[in-house]
A and B are shown apart, each in its own frame.
Chain A
């Protein structure tokens, strides 16, 4: 599975959009990009995933660059409850095995 690189920490003002970047320059054509987050004292929570098209759900939007070497998770209107560690993970589509969690980005939403 391809390696990912994320900034260790970011701040965001409450009510503003939070844009979390992820670099996955060695991604292969059959690898998906997944995003999870972990709020303190809870288990990782699935947010969204995609292959090459932009994706949106009730939680967030995922923007994947055309060359697929990087992506951005967008929380359109961040709230204090979005403060968490956000993980970007790349995994081969048909491999139902483990998710390789890196260090992630610690997002702090400030009032």
Chain B
């Protein structure tokens, strides 16, 4: 079975540019999560969706960050404008609707803002 697929794997861009990260969850999974990992803060949740609807976006750092899930097989996390402090590894994860199910993570996008 294909796991969670994220693209790109690496992104290097200059401050002020728009960045779009993409995620394809595991087919049949109803939950989708976006996490960010840094050395200082560890792995932290940004936002999660259930059946394509955002449920909790309290972890989104500020208005420069936005996330969408237009259908069950695709989600984007956008940063506009990007800043050097946004440099991190961004992970997407998905899980089934049933309670007590583990989340399955993609391999992340390593983002560097110069």
Chain A interface residues (CB < 8 Å from chain B): 32, 34, 36, 41-46, 49, 93-99, 101-103
Contacts and interface: CB of A to CB of B under 8 A. Distances in A.
B99 A46 contact: no
Interface residues of B, number: 26
B27 interface: no
Contacts, number: 49
Interface of B: 4, 31, 33, 35, 42-43, 45, 48, 50, 55-56, 59, 91, 93, 95, 97, 99-108
Given A43-B91, A43-B93, A103-B42, A97 B56 contact: yes
Given A96-B97, A98-B56, 16 more contacts: A42-B108, A43-B4, A44-B43, A44-B105, A49-B102, A93-B99, A95-B99, A96-B50, A96-B99, A96-B101, A97-B48, A97-B55, A98-B35, A98-B45, A99-B103, A103-B42
Nearest to B108: A43
A85 to B, nearest CB: 10
A98 B94 CA distance: 10
